[in-house]
Amino acid sequence: MHKQYLVPDLAPILDLDAGTRGRVRSSLADLLRSQLADPATSWAIGTFGAIAEFHRDSTEPTALSERRAVTARGGIHLQATNEVRAIAWERPSSGDGWTQGISLCLTTADSAMNGRTAITELGPDGEALHKDHRAEVLFDLGIAAPHCDVCVRTADPALLRVLRAATGRSVLTTGLLGELAATSPTRVFLSRLGRVEVRTAIPKPDGKTPDGPHTHVLPELLKLKRTHSANVPLPNGYVPCAELFPASAIHDAHGRRKAFEAGKHEAFQALLAVYGDPACVAAKRETAQAVRAAQPPLDVPWYTRAQRHARRVALRQLAHTDAASAALDAWRATFDRDT
């Protein structure tokens, strides 16, 4: 007889008491502090179709504090809020890999930014991460993302004239993206949880994305008006206002595949246990138990899309953590066919 899965407990989760909420906030503060100190962790602020990513090398001079990390190429500053909800996630990627991250979320209402639909001059950027840049002029590009203001900052007279001439129109309707790519002003992405600044050159359309801090603005994706990828399982009513990507067990700091590192895998699994979606964590656990018990593949019809993705990730990870087995081959052939 095949092992039968139990119907999940659908009882509502009780609200945390004040003491527990305090401990969770404290642990989150410790998490952010430790991840800022780790050069292998990457960070991002943005929306679906426009994102600023901050990366740094282990040997790169960095001004580091409890809430920020700043290099010559860019930086991140996090703003404290008691309302943030951290959600750890994994999802299958191309081939037989997976990606992982932790989304720092606010409710739709709490996350609201300015939503400007046109290029707007905002004046000197008094919050610039380096004091030498605070006299430079900040412009919102009019992306109209509800939870993220996409801006550029410059002191270049020629670019200032171009931006001021385009005021009142969205960057997506002016052809200004090409001008920005040619001049590479500092890009500044803002949310209720902080800012990411990027000061590297913008590559040409057929060029290579730099390994360090960089930005992407993709008009075709922006037209979809999504706050985040549908493949990232976030609760309804929450949007990601910042994201962190702890060190991967299978990718190096530049996203290239590497030999599996068990320590890094175990470190993220510990974070997933605390901050992950309980249903997805349970799906991974059930899958691993079934494979290790050499049970034949058995579908769980009530699994959501996120839980099915979690099952696929579990199977891919078992290929690294466990010995090869006929059971694992059968499960992967059934539930992870595009490997």
Task: Read off the pLDDT of residues 231-282 as tens digits, 9 standing for 90 and up.
Answer: 888 888 999 999 999 999 999 887 889 999 999 999 999 999 999 999 999 9
Contact 140, 114 (CB under 8 A): yes
Q: Residue 12's pLDDT is what?
A: 27
CB count, 10 Å around CB of 64?
Answer: 16
Tell me the average pLDDT across 101-125.
96
In the prediction, which pLDDT does 339 show? 47
Owner of token pair 């309804």: 236
**pTM higher than 0.85:** yes
* pLDDT reported for residue 174: 83
Question: Other C-beta atoms within 10 Å of 23: how many?
Answer: 12
Residues 6+ apart with CB under 8 A from 238: 85, 87, 105, 106, 107, 108
In three-state secondary structure terms, 48 is coil
H-run or E-run covering 278: helix 278-292
Average the pLDDT over 208-217 and give the result: 85
pLDDT in tens, 303-320: 999 999 999 999 999 999
Compute the distance between CA of residue 17 and CA of residue 25 in angstroms, rounded to an integer: 12
pLDDT at residue 297 tops 50: yes
Mean pLDDT, rounded, for 35-57? 95
Average pLDDT over residues 70-75: 97
Q: Enumerate long-range contacts of 230-236, CB under 8 Å, 24 or more apart.
A: 231/91, 231/309, 232/89, 232/91, 232/101, 232/103, 233/87, 233/89, 233/277, 233/280, 233/304, 233/305, 233/306, 233/309, 234/87, 234/89, 234/103, 234/105, 235/87, 235/105
The DSSP symbol for 171 reads G
Question: What are the tens digits of pLDDT across the range 167-209?
Answer: 999 888 888 888 898 899 999 999 999 999 999 998 776 667 7
Mean pLDDT throughout 283-296? 97
Which residue would you say has higher pLDDT here, 172 or 330? 330
Report percent pLDDT > 70 for the chain. 91
Q: What is residue 338's predicted lDDT score, i.e. its pLDDT?
A: 62
Which of these ranges, 60-64, 74-78, 172-176, 323-327, has the smallest mean pLDDT? 172-176
User: With pLDDT > 90 as the criterion, what percentage of the chain qualifies?
Assistant: 74
Give the pLDDT confidence score for residue 13 in this predicted structure.
27
What pLDDT sits at residue 206? 67
How far apart are alpha carbons 187 and 200 in whole angstroms?
Answer: 9
Residue 9, number of CB atoms within 10 A of its CB: 7
Mean pLDDT of all residues in the chain?
89
pLDDT for the residue numbered 231: 81
What distance in Å separates the CA atoms of residue 80 and residue 200, rounded to the nearest whole number? 27
Q: What is the pLDDT of residue 28?
A: 87
Does residue 24 register a pLDDT over 80? Answer: no
Burial of 237 from C-beta contacts in 10 A (0-12 / 13-18 / 19+): exposed
Q: Kindly report, residue by residue over 127-158, the tens digit of the pLDDT.
A: 999 999 999 999 999 999 999 999 999 999 99
